[in-house]
Amino acid sequence: MTDRKADPAVDRRDVAWWSDKAVSVLVFLGGISAILFIIGIFVFITREGFGFGEHFKAGEIFGSTRWAPTSDSNPTYGILALVAGTASVTGLAMLIAVPFSLGAAIYIAEFAKGRTREVLKVLVEMLAAIPSVVWGFIGLTIMNPLIIQTFDVPIGLCVLNSGLILGLMAAPIMTTIAEDALKAVPDSYREAAEALGATRWQVTRRVVLPAARQGLLAAVLLGVGRGFGETMAVLMASGHSINLPTSPFDSVRALTATIAAELGETAVGSPHYQALFMLGILLFAVTFLINLAADLIVRGIRKG
């Protein structure tokens, strides 16, 4: 037997030791990169939009419906109509997407079996994969004439059109997350209820849904975030006219679409350009809050 006290191997930090150290530093950098990027997004957008401070009049911005940054005589930056546009489209989208997504999640998680289940999941994934510009294109070329014909209105690029499309776009993420939340309810709960003679639906309604309600809420929130931040589809399908909507057939204009449509036409550093970056900060802040809320809710599940 060797005398281990004299053996230097235990104190020698060999190649393996050092390469492990090096890799741990590298992956740590990768890990914190996500945080750096989030900070970077905030910093660089603020940097570009910062100069807008001197034009900043809270009363006008949050109190006026007049978004006219290009007006020579009287440029105004009221975002009320844009907020109303985003809210109406997102609201309608959620009205459609929430019940359907939760229904689909319940069907896929609790009722469907084997092959059906797999096929449905793949289709939901396919739905999520369709690029937003294709959705916008569909709104423009298929839904637009369809709405004009069906409802006998002059234009089909409106709240209804973009709301429907946004609903379909937000549905897959909500379905997927809601299904995860339902799957996270332990099978022992279901078995216990089924042993008492409850039907599948009774089990779902009385046992599974209450147990998964926080996860379902998080799913809805993330869906809202997705709808709220969608750009190309809303730009193409909403009609893009500044309006306080009074009916689903009114054209509106969303915050995201405004940036997409106008950024290319502004001079770098002009008040208009800076105003668009301020809108970006607003969008960033709201999605940050939505995601934070969803995260806190999900964490609540893990703790409780």
Partner 1 sequence: MFDATPRNLKDARREGLVRILFLLMTALLVLPVLLILGVLVAKGGSALSWDFLFTEPTDGMTAGGLLPALVGTIWLVVIALIVSVPIGIAAALYLSEYAPDNWLTRAINLAIINLAGVPSIVHALFGVGAFVIFFGFGTSILAASFTLAVMTLPVVIVSTREALQAVPQSFREACWNMGATRWQTIRKVVLPNSISGILTGVILEVSRTAGETAPIMFTGAAFFLPFLPESVYDQTMAMSLHLFVVATQVPNVPDNLPFGVALVLIGMVLAMNAISIAFRTWLRRKKKW
Partner 2 sequence: MVTATPEIRVQNLSIQYGEKVALAGASFEVMPNEIFGIIGPANSGKTSFLKVLNRMDTFTPGMRFSGTAEVGGRDVRSWRNLYALRRRIGVVFPLPVGLPLSVYDNVAFAPRLAGVRGKAELDAIVERCLRRAALWDEVKDRLKALGSLLSGGQQQRLTIARALSQEPSILLLDEFSIAVDPVTTMRIEDVLKELKQEMTIVLVTNLVQQARRLADRTAFFLMGECVSVSPTEALFTGDADPRARDYVEGRFG
Binding residues vs partner 2 (CB under 8 A): 1-2, 4-5, 9-14, 16-17, 20
Binding mask 266-295 for partner 1 (x = CB under 8 A): --x-------xx--x--xx--xx-xxx-xx
**Least CB distance to partner 2 at residue 230 (A):** 40
9: left (phi over 0), alpha (psi -120 to 50) or beta: alpha
**127 CA to centre of own chain:** 15
Q: How many residues bind partner 1 (CB under 8 A)?
A: 89
**Least CB distance to partner 1 at residue 73 (A):** 28
Q: Which amino acid is at 95?
A: L
With CB cut-offs between 5 and 8 Å by kind, which of partner 1, partner 2, none does residue 13 bind? partner 2
Nearer to partner 2, 2 or 188 (CB): 2
Nearer to partner 1, 6 or 16 (CB): 16
* Ordered DSSP codes for 26-37: HHHHHHHHHHHH
**Least CB distance to partner 1 at residue 246 (A):** 26
Contact yes or no for 165/135 (Cβ under 8 A): yes
Identify which of 235, 105, 249 has the alpha carbon closest to the alpha carbon of residue 174: 105
Nearer to partner 1, 243 or 258 (CB): 258
Nearer to partner 1, 59 or 264 (CB): 264
Q: CA-to-CA distance for 106 and 200, rounded, in angstroms?
A: 11
Among residues 6, 34, 58, 267, the one that binds partner 1 under rule CB under 8 A: 34
Q: Interface residues for partner 1 in 76-135 (CB under 8 A)?
A: 99-101, 103-104, 106-108, 111-112, 118, 120, 122-127, 129-134
Q: Interface residues for partner 1 in 203-242 (CB under 8 A)?
A: 222, 225-226, 228-232, 236
**Least CB distance to partner 2 at residue 24 (A):** 12
With CB cut-offs between 5 and 8 Å by kind, which of partner 2, partner 1, none does residue 123 bind? partner 1
Q: CA-to-CA distance for 230 and 296, rounded, in angstroms?
A: 23
Cβ neighbours of 121 (radius 10 Å): 15
Nearer to partner 2, 1 or 268 (CB): 1
Listed in sequence order, the residues at least 6 apart from 175 whose beta carbon sits closer than 8 Å to its beta carbon are: 101, 104, 105, 108, 124, 219
**Least CB distance to partner 2 at residue 187 (A):** 23
Listed in sequence order, the residues at least 6 apart from 179 whose beta carbon sits closer than 8 Å to its beta carbon are: 105, 108, 109
CA distances from 261 to 76, 134, 158, 180, 256 (A): 17, 17, 17, 37, 9
With CB cut-offs between 5 and 8 Å by kind, which of partner 1, partner 2, none does residue 5 bind? partner 2
